[in-house]
Amino acid sequence: MTDADGHDSATRLEFVHVAQDPVTGLRACIAIHNTARGPAFGGCRMRSYESEHAAITDAARLAEGMTLKNALAGLPFGGGKAVIFQPEEPESRAQLFRAFGREVERLGGRYITAEDVGTTPEDMRAVNSVTRFVSGIPRSSGFGGDPGRFTAMGVFHAIRVAARTLLDQDSLEGLQIGVQGLGAVGAELCALLAAEKAELWVSDLVPLRAADVADRWGAKILSSEALFEAELDILSPCALGAVFDVANVGKIQAKVIAGAANNQLASLEIGDVLDTRGIWYLPDFLINAGGIIAVAREYLGTGSERAVRDEVQMIGPRVEQLIHMVRKEQRPPARIAMAWAERLLQREARATAD
């Protein structure tokens, strides 16, 4: 099976909910992968899909990633994800998201949603008008809203650890770092890296976004293809998934890969090839957890800027732990991180059975 991004996929799900609403044009799929740790929590993506099959496969892979991510982040949630087919011309975006919210409500709390690529805090506000099983909403009373900057923060902590532990650099000053995708996460990541005097190379499909980052931080603009083949210290994919595949895995020149995009590897075997080539791949589901930490704490009512920053900072020590395990077990990082998450899930399942 192959999804919209070109991943190979054979994900086993607990439950899939497919919904259509002819009045608003909603076509959506909610995939619940694993609820051993708690209700499934993961964002809602809206984009064009070629077929229902491609949409369900995308939701399934993303839901599996959420299971791993939530477990490694120590959150009391399982993994799930929703996708909405981008309608040609929605009559009303708010109505579309209210219709989606009604589907979330029908699941009675088994799935909790938030933003992802193609959806906004305003959309989540519309969802919230019909269900409470939603997060990532700007709240007048305090903490909440778009979690992108926390995701960027987590990736930044991972990059710092990678620089120190893998590249023997105490600071990021002068390191050549490439960022693909300059949206909510990538642009914020560039700001953090520029503040540490890293040398930035960037690419985005939207030329204005790349120009803006170049103006602000002196970044140099490349095509994505050139960025992936550049001799960088660190490459940070922050656009969409499946960016490493059989066609380009032999051409990547960066020493370390550490980015926010979900499901960067077209398949686990691509991670093996990177490993054989001596390239460190820090798995997305370990280092891009900042956003889910923020929306989870917002949902639980335990979020504050300070508490979430502190929790996101813990991604750094987890990366250190992963590097230690990889060096000890001599297996690729993606496989080690998956096995680590699965051990946590099995422990949870045993505790529930006892």
Closest alpha carbon to 4 in 43, 66, 75, 55 = 55
180 binds ligand NAI (CB under 6 A): yes
Q: Which range touches ligand NAI (CB under 6 A), out of 88-96, 101-109, 156-164, 234-242?
A: 234-242
Q: Which is nearer to ligand NAI, 45 or 169 (CB)?
A: 45
Task: Please write down the HEC assignment for all residues of 59-94.
Answer: HHHHHHHHHHHHHHCCCCCEEEEEEEECCCCCCCHH
Is 81 annotated in the active site? yes
| Beta carbon nearer to ligand NAI, 244 or 352 | 244
Residues making up the chain, counted from first to last: 354
Contact predicate 151/291, CB 8 Å: yes
Concatenating the DSSP letter of every residue in 290-303 gives: HHHHHHHHHHHT--
Q: Does 238 bind ligand NAI (CB under 6 A)?
A: yes
**Binding residue for ligand NAI, selected from 204, 233, 298, 311, defined by CB under 6 A:** 204
Please say whether the beta carbons of 170 and 164 come within 8 A. Answer: yes
Name the minimum Å distance from CB 274 to ligand NAI.
Answer: 18
Among 147, 178, 271, 316, binds ligand NAI (CB under 6 A): 147
Q: How far apart are the first and last CA of the chain?
A: 37
Q: Is 59 in the site for ligand NAI (CB under 6 A)?
A: no
Region of 91-99, 199-207, 269-277, 325-333 interacting with ligand NAI (CB under 6 A) = 199-207
Strands (E), 192-345: 199-203, 220-221, 234-237, 256-257, 280-281
Say whether residue 182 binds ligand NAI (CB under 6 A): yes
Would you put residue 289 in left (φ > 0), alpha (ψ -120 to 50) or beta? alpha
The answer to the question of residue 209 lying near ligand NAI (CB under 6 A) is: yes
For ligand NAI, the binding residues (CB under 6 A) are 116-117, 147-148, 151, 180-186, 203-206, 209, 224, 238-241, 260-262, 288, 291
Q: Show which residues are catalytic.
A: 81
